[in-house]
Amino acid sequence: MTDEELLKVLELWEQWLMESPIHQNDEYKEQIDELFRCWYEKRFKEKEVPSPDTPISMMFHSFIGAIEIYKKNLEN
């Protein structure tokens, strides 16, 4: 996934969250911010993303994974 594609994916994720009642919860907001930070570090600095052990983290990993699978299928 290119940097530009990743940024588009993160924009879609952010848009989905903003339309969801989840973003109103400060605890989830902190988890979401942490996931974005860690994902950015993994992508650009090769650090590890937290495991999907919370509902928000699971959704984030699923969202990113689904986009990557979709992109891979488009390439084939």
Q: Looking at the predicted structure, is the pLDDT value of residue 40 above 60?
A: yes
pLDDT reported for residue 24: 61
CB 35 within 8 A of CB 49: yes
How many angstroms separate the Cα of 32 from the Cα of each of 29, 58, 66, 74? 5, 11, 18, 28
pTM, rounded to two decimals: 0.39
Domain positions in the chain are 3-75
Mean pLDDT of the region 63-69: 74
Confidence category of residue 51, pLDDT binned at 50, 70, 90: low
CB 46 within 8 A of CB 40: no
